[in-house]
Amino acid sequence: MDARLARIAPAKAPSGNSFAEAVVMGLARTPKEIACKYFYDETGSRLFDQICELPEYYQTRTERALLQRHAPEIARLMGPEVEIVEFGAGSLRKVRLLLDALKNPRAYTPVDISGDYLADVVRALGADYPGLTLRPLVADFTLPMTVPALAGRLRRAGLFTGSTIGNFKPDVAMALLRRMRGTLNGGGLLVGVDLVKDPRRLHAAYNDAAGITAAFNTNLLVRANRELGADFDPDAFAHYAPYNALAHRIEMYLVSLKRQSVTVDDQRFEFAQGEPVHTEDSRKYTIESFREMAARAGFSPRAVWTDPERLFSIHWLEG
């Protein structure tokens, strides 16, 4: 390990059995559910990167283009000498667009639940930005957490991209934004938000022809088999992801294709033919509905950028 990486603050690992608990408790419920944050083991993180490249998944490329186009203005709003704190950092590809535009960025603190993956991508970023203090934190940002100040008590700017906010129920999303506002100590937050649109476009984005989203969804079962010794037959479950136009959300399920029983952690779970396991909601907002929620969370919504087709939006919220 080189000197710069050695200065990284010790990573806080999430508790070891949380996935086991989530599966066992989620399958005991009616309807059955497994929280979407468990998609992101290393395989899941890599499948998600493949989703981002799909022709149907317009979100990532639209957001990236918006970031690229407006980076100079965003950099001005964030100001010089900042510490960037990114919630759910993923592949770290988007932050580069900002780092290249920011005036003398001092530190970067990516927070992600996928520890091995984070270590990998941080190593690659460090090689390209020598002189930037890197502080990866392996943590579940949906839980309360403290991000200790770095030397120099740097001003913070937050990054919360990819429309990850859409995974949370509105009241939970608001509480999460409120907590992020606390973490940022008065600094602003840049949030990427997917917009309400033609339901056919949304449906296609979660039902891609190549079947990558289906593999991403089913990977939850593969992960349970590998990590928990469960005996799911992944082929006996179908990926099902309809758009609920009334509730403005994609709902993702794994549907049991037959009557079957599965054992996880010495517990048996019965599945009826056609019984769904709810694995994700991906809510879509209007520009106005998101700004309203951000304001209720204590932020002052300022600039907002969108593409000509109004597929996606990026919001600058002042702390």
- For ligand AVJ, the binding residues (CB under 6 A) are 51, 59, 162-164, 166-167, 206, 213, 216, 280, 282
Helix, strand, coil distribution of the chain in percent, nearest 5: 40, 25, 35
Beta bridge partner(s), residue 316: 190
Closest separation in Å from C-beta 60 to ligand AVJ = 9
CB of 278 within 8 A of CB of 253?
yes
Closest separation in Å from C-beta 165 to ligand AVJ = 8
> H/E element holding 10?
none
CB of 312 within 8 A of CB of 58?
yes
Closest separation in Å from C-beta 59 to ligand AVJ = 6
Closest separation in Å from C-beta 157 to ligand AVJ = 21
Question: For residues 115 and 166, which CB has a smaller minimum distance to ligand AVJ in the complex?
Answer: 166
Q: How far is CA 121 from the centre of its chain?
A: 16
Task: Measure the CA–CA gap between 300 and 243, rounded to whole angstroms.
Answer: 31
Question: For residues 154 and 174, which CB has a smaller minimum distance to ligand AVJ in the complex?
Answer: 174
Question: For residues 183 and 213, which CB has a smaller minimum distance to ligand AVJ in the complex?
Answer: 213
Q: Which residue has the tokens 């429309």?
A: 163
Closest separation in Å from C-beta 158 to ligand AVJ = 17
Closest separation in Å from C-beta 310 to ligand AVJ = 17
Non-local (6+) Cβ contacts of 115 within 8 A are: 11, 13, 14, 138
The CA–CA distances, whole Å, from 73 to 95, 180, 243, 248 equal 15, 22, 34, 30
Question: For residues 44 and 319, which CB has a smaller minimum distance to ligand AVJ in the complex?
Answer: 44
Nearest residue to ligand AVJ, by Cβ distance, number only: 282
Task: Measure the CA–CA gap between 134 and 92, rounded to whole angstroms.
Answer: 12
Task: Measure the CA–CA gap between 197 and 162, rounded to whole angstroms.
Answer: 16
Q: What is the DSSP letter of 269?
A: E
Closest separation in Å from C-beta 307 to ligand AVJ = 16
